[in-house]
Amino acid sequence: MSSTVLSASCKSRKSDLQAVIFDMDGVIVDSHPAHRKAWRQFLRTFGREVSDIELDFILDGRKRADILRHFLGELSDAEILDYGKRKDDFFRHSFSEAKLLPGVTQLFDQLSSRGIAIAVATSASENRTRSTLDRLRLTERFSAIVTEGDVVRGKPDPAVYCLACRRLDVGPKHALAIEDAASGIRAAKAANLVCIGVADRDRSEMLSAAGADDVMENFIDVSVDRLEAILARRG
């Protein structure tokens, strides 16, 4: 179904919830262990050994260029492109370790059956985003896919969520974001979206402190009615 048809069907619904915009890594797919492994392997090619605490930096929804500069210093655009491809090669070898977050496909089914549009807003590159979603056979589920190359500034800047709303033709008061990183939550809130955090108990307080309107561990038994109730709290 095209985004135009989805937008039209959303506008005819009585519910205020017309779209749900998902981050990808850590929200749709539990890819963080694979990313940690890939970044560690990539950085070893530069003689860098990094701890788990240092690698926490990669989990905060930043653009790849910012991560590369954080670990390797100032880089040219050509180096960022080359190094990003090399890191992605390591990730592809680890991709089998990445699993869908529990309950996410069932939630997709519920949203689609209710005429609620689904989008992705991620700091990942377009190539990795589409290859990940293609491998998981999810690409066709989304009415809009926004990646790092679509915006100048990454999260916590709200641009990625503002663009997702525009592509869906849905106002922010009718959309809900789902994030697993503090910078992503701040981006969604700055775009005037209600935002749900996805995290285990160890990280839930951090997401709440960043402004999450609710926090859940995964999508098992999460219903559209629950999402609508969270959206309704904004008044």
Tens digit of each residue's pLDDT, the chain (235 residues): 444 434 333 333 456 999 999 999 999 999 878 888 888 999 999 999 988 888 888 777 678 888 899 999 999 999 989 998 898 888 888 777 778 999 999 999 999 999 999 999 999 889 889 999 999 999 999 999 999 999 999 899 999 999 999 999 999 999 999 999 999 999 999 999 999 999 988 889 999 999 999 999 999 999 999 999 999 998 6
Per-residue pLDDT, 9: 38
**Can you count the helices (H) and strands (E) in the chain?**
11, 8
Alpha helices (H) in 95-234, listed in sequence order: 104-113, 126-135, 159-168, 182-190, 201-209, 224-232
CATH of domain 3-31+99-232: 3.40.50.1000
CA atoms within 13 A on the CB side of 173: 6
- Residue ranges, CATH 3.40.50.1000, the chain: 3-31+99-232
Per-residue pLDDT, 200: 86
- Residue ranges, CATH 1.10.150.240, the chain: 32-97
CATH of domain 32-97: 1.10.150.240
**Token pair for 188:** 């969604």
Vertex 227 angle, CA 223 and 233, to 5°: 145
Return the SS3 of 207.
Answer: helix
Name the pTM for this structure.
Answer: 0.81
**Distance separating alpha carbons of residues 120 and 127, to the nearest angstrom:** 14
Per-residue pLDDT, 1: 42
